[in-house]
Structures are given as C-alpha cells and as structure tokens.
C-alpha cells in the first residue's frame, strides 16, 4: 500500500501539556530486575551502595522520570516492614506471585535512596491483596512522616532523618486479575481502596493516589470495574490505572502493528468510564490516567502462566523477552499514543526497566546493554517537551483481525513554548514507503532531521551482540516547500523528526 498521507499541524491546536511523568518505568521484585539488574554488589561498576553504575547510566540515557516499585503482582503479598532496618536481621520470604525466594536485601529505604541519588521520582505501591488500611497508612507515615510518631520514628531509627516525600501511591496492583494474590471483586476492592486512600491522605494530604483500573481492556469486567471502583473512590483518588501489553500472536503482523490503535481506544474508553462517574456525581473533578504498565510482552506466546513456575531463589531469569526491530516500531507508536492523550495521561510506566521485559539487559558480573525498544523510548523522552499538538492526520486504513480498521500512518507532535523546539513522531505501519505532506498553516515549521527505527525481518535479537548491532538510522530526505514539508517514511518504521515551529 502506498498512498499520500496528509498531516496538518497548527500551533494553536493543542491537546495539553506533556506531563514528564509519562516517561516512567517500573522496578519490580521479579526475576532479575532488582538483583543483578539495578543492584549487584561486587559488580565492577557497583557504587558504594551496591547499585550498578552501568545500569544507572543507561537509565539516565533512557530519560526515565518516574519509577514504580515494588510491584506489580509482587506487592500483593509483600510485607514492607520485613525489608527495613538492619539487613542482617531481615528474613527471606517466599513471594507467591513469582514463586521466588525474596531475600529482602533491597527494601523501601534502599530503593528510595537510590531514586534520590539518581534523580528519579518513586511511585510506591501498597499491598491491598493480603493486607489493608493499617499497613498502607503505616508505609506512608514511614516514608513521609515527621519525627514523633511510631513509623516515622522507625525510619529515623533506621538512619533516615528526613522524610522522603513520596508523592505517587498505587492502591494495590491489578486487583481485578484472578491471578492476583488477594484478588477482589470491584465492590470489595473499591471500598478497601477508598478506606486505605482516606487513611493514607490523612497521614499526608499532599500525596496523589492511583486506584486500580483494569489489567487489560480485554478483561471481562472491563468498564464495569472502572465504574464500580470509581463510584467508591472518586473523591479520594487522583488517577485510575491502566495496564496493557501487546504481542504478535500467530504471525498476525498487521494486528501487532496496529497495537497503538488498541491503546488509543483503551484510553478513550477509560476516560469515558471515569467521566461518566464524574457526571453522575455532578463533580467538576477530572480523574486522570496512570498508564503504569505498558509494553510489548510475549505473554501468551512465550510466557504462559506464573503458577507453573518452580520455586526458585537467587534472582532467577523470568520473562527476559528479547526484542526485535518490529517491537521497537510498535513501542514508538505506543509512546506517540501517550502523547496524543496528554490532556488525560498523567503518569506512564514502561514495564519494566531492567532484564524483565525491559529496554536494558544485564549479565551478572558482565555488561549492561540496550535492547531495540530502548531507542524509541529514549528518543521520545528526550525530544517530546512542552505542549502536545492536536494534529489532523489523514491516512488510509487497513484491516486487521484483532482491531478492525487501523490507520496506515499515525503521528504525534510536541512544541516547547519556551524554545519553539518542535518534535514530530510518525509511524508507518505498512510494508511500503509512504509519502507524507505536512501542512503548517499559521506558522513557520522547519524540520532539521530525523532518526528512525525500522522493523527489519531479523526477529528477536537474542544475544547482546545482536541487540547492540541494532540502532537508529537517519530518516529519508525531508523536502521543505511553501507552507508544506514532504516526508518519506521507510516501510514499517517509526521516525522522530526534530525542528522548530514559529508563528
Ligand atoms: O510486569 C509484569 C507483571 O505484569 C506485573 O507484575 C503485573 O502487574 C502484570 O500482570
């Protein structure tokens, strides 16, 4: 398919300010994300605290802002009190979510101090699976409380005088999922989240709370779950969560390339569900979205079921997906979708950061390196600044089995009001080159250049060497005309253009 595509970009048509917290990621006590991922004492690059400098440097290069912790499914049977205080007194516990012996060497203080040193904003999750109001409020007090009360004083006794000031808090994780330890129906969870959230905000009214939304748009309870949970929590929480993983199933490349359209519909449906509750309550408050788990994950085709895992210890290799060029194109397109909902998405977390379905891989005692998906994330986090623009994209659609008709070309753009820096992200989902005419009425636009990721047909880059051989390439030539710019997009590609926009 090769057809003309048109994009109109106008400086006055804006979606909203891009919240930098959409460039978040996720560190779960799962597999090798923590142990031999971010943390490996004895590694050649380990800092004084035992954290790998090579991983921290790649995290910085990736442009990550927020990091969600400690899970994920892990949090739903976590006893945070067991992982604070002197390390030699901490006891290992059997994490039932991933059937792994957790040594508790890294806990709340180690993680929060790592975030401080690395300039990352922590997003903490509380256990609403096996625990409840008490443990959740106590953890907020431990992290954010001033001296003079039990849990804040415990933090001080453990060597940390200053409160950490953690703003973002998840009220549990995927509580709609039957796989979750302590899984609940929407009414039970909604009441518990409201009670826990109320207590947590009584400890610290400055925090922002995330209620669990659906684990996927394809859950049977989707929609009704959001409506019910928000009917209990609307006045207490700030955000509702969304989780989505995409994969190529049964060789259906077209549907996989259209994944971001599914993400787009998911966002619109959650916004509609949340706003319907707000309307019924005659509330002026708008709930925003925390897309706190998203990525390409070969969950159905490669992973299967966590209950089949044997009990393991010493940071086992679990879900260490290796990514292809095609996966990188889809990740770029998914990121553009987050930008196109800048008015409603406040937080986004690429799940996860290291080793577990991650842009960064490591070997114990060895190197750290970038997977293919690293490149579109880092490029977007670096270029997308300021305001997201409301583009008008006219492109033909193609049919997919999973999502029906999807656009052949998608786009997102941002402009930095302070500098006039323009960033334009365009995905060509077809196997032919596409010509795009970009019109920019009411402004002078100039694109200096672009870099692209291509969906080569090489398949997943299984080894470090193969992953490192993959990189971004220069965009095809850009032609400037009078009020128009002509772009050529490589087949199955995601391209980030940079330039300027002036009135
Ligand atoms: O990111 C891996 C897992 O996916 C998380 O633990 C869980 O929340 C989701 O199902």
pLDDT score, position 355: 98
Ligand 1 centre from 184 Cα, in Å? 17
Measure the CA–CA gap between 468 and 252, rounded to whole angstroms. Answer: 27
pLDDT tens profile 309-351? 999 999 999 999 999 999 999 999 999 999 999 999 999 999 9
Instruction: Indicate which atom in ligand 1 lies nearest the CA of residue 215.
Output: 10
Is the CB of 95 within 6 Å of ligand 1? no
Measure the CA–CA gap between 68 and 287, rounded to whole angstroms. Answer: 20
Report DSSP state, residue 307: G
Is the CB of 72 within 6 Å of ligand 1? yes
Measure the CA–CA gap between 354 and 359, rounded to whole angstroms. Answer: 7
pLDDT score, position 301: 80
pLDDT score, position 183: 98
pLDDT score, position 303: 80
Catalytic residues: 174, 293
b/e per residue, 443-471, with b = 16+ CB within 10 A?
A: bebebeebbbbbbeeeebbeebeebeebe
- Report the residue among 25, 28, 245 best suited for mutation to probe ligand 1: largest number of ligand atoms under 8 A from its CB: 28
Is the CB of 73 within 6 Å of ligand 1? yes
Query: Which protein residue has the closest C-alpha to ligand 1 atom 9?
Result: 72
Ligand 1 centre from 73 Cα, in Å? 6
Q: Does residue 22 sit in helix, strand or coil?
A: helix
pLDDT score, position 361: 98
Tokens of 161: 């005088």
Mean pLDDT over each residue of the chain, to the nearest integer:
97
- What global pTM score does this model have? 0.97
DSSP string covering 207-274, please?
-EEEE---S-TTSTTTTHHHHHHHHHHTTT-SEEEEEEEE---TT-HHHHHTHHHHHHHHHHHHHHHH
pLDDT score, position 394: 98
HSE-up of 26 (CA within 13 Å, CB side)?
28
- Report the residue among 174, 212, 219 best suited for mutation to probe ligand 1: largest number of ligand atoms under 8 A from its CB: 174
Identify the segments of the chain with pLDDT beneath 50: none
């Amino acid at each position: 398919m090769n057809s003309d595509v048109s994009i109109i970009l106008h400086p006055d048509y804006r979606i909203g300010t891009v919240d930098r917290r959409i460039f978040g990621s996720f560190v779960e006590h799962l597999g090798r994300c923590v142990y031999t991922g971010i943390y490996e004492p004895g590694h050649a690059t380990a800092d004084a605290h035992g954290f790998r400098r090579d991983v921290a440097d790649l995290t910085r290069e990736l442009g990550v802002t927020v990091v969600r912790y400690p899970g994920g499914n892990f949090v739903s049977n976590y006893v945070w009190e067991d992982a604070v205080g002197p390390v030699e007194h901490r006891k290992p516990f059997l994490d039932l979510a991933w059937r792994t012996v957790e040594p508790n060497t890294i806990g709340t203080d180690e993680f929060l101090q790592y975030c401080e040193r690395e300039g990352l904003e922590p997003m903490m999750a509380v256990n609403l699976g096996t625990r409840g109001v008490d443990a959740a409020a106590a953890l907020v007090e431990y992290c954010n409380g001033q001296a003079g009360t039990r849990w804040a004083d415990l933090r001080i006794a453990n060597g940390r005088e200053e409160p950490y000031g953690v703003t973002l808090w998840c009220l549990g994780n995927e509580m709609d999922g039957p796989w979750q330890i302590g899984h609940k129906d929407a009414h039970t969870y909604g009441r518990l989240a409201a009670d826990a959230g109320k207590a947590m905000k009584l400890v610290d009214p400055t925090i922002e709370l995330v209620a669990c939304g659906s684990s996927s748009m394809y859950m049977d309870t989707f929609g009704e779950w959001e409506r019910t949970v928000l009917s209990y929590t609307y006045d207490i929480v700030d955000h509702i969560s969304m989780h989505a993983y995409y994969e190529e199933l049964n060789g259906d490349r077209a549907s996989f390339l259209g994944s971001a359209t599914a993400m787009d519909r998911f966002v619109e449906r959650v916004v509609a569900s949340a706003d319907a509750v707000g309307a019924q309550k005659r509330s002026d408050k708008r709930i925003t979205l925390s897309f706190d788990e998203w990525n390409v994950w070969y969950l159905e085709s490669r992973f299967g079921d966590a209950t089949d895992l044997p009990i393991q210890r010493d940071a086992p290799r679990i879900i260490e997906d290796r990514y292809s060029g095609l996966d990188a194109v889809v990740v770029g397109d998914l990121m553009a979708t987050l930008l196109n909902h800048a008015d409603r998405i406040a937080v986004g977390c690429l799940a996860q950061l290291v080793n577990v379905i991650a842009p960064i891989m490591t070997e114990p005692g060895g190197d750290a390196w970038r997977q293919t998906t690293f490149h579109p994330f880092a490029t977007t986090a670096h270029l997308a600044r300021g305001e997201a623009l409301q583009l008008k994209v006219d492109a033909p659609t193609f049919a997919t089995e999973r999502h029906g008709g999807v656009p052949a070309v998608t786009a997102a753009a941002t402009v930095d009001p302070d500098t006039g820096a323009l960033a334009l992200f365009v995905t060509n989902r077809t196997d032919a080159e596409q010509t795009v005419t970009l019109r920019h009425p009411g402004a002078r636009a100039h694109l200096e250049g672009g870099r692209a990721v291509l969906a080569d047909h090489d398949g997943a880059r299984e080894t470090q060497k193969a992953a490192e051989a993959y990189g971004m390439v220069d965009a095809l030539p850009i032609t400037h005309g009078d009020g128009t710019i002509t772009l050529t997009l490589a087949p199955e590609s995601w391209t980030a253009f940079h330039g300027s926009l002036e009135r």
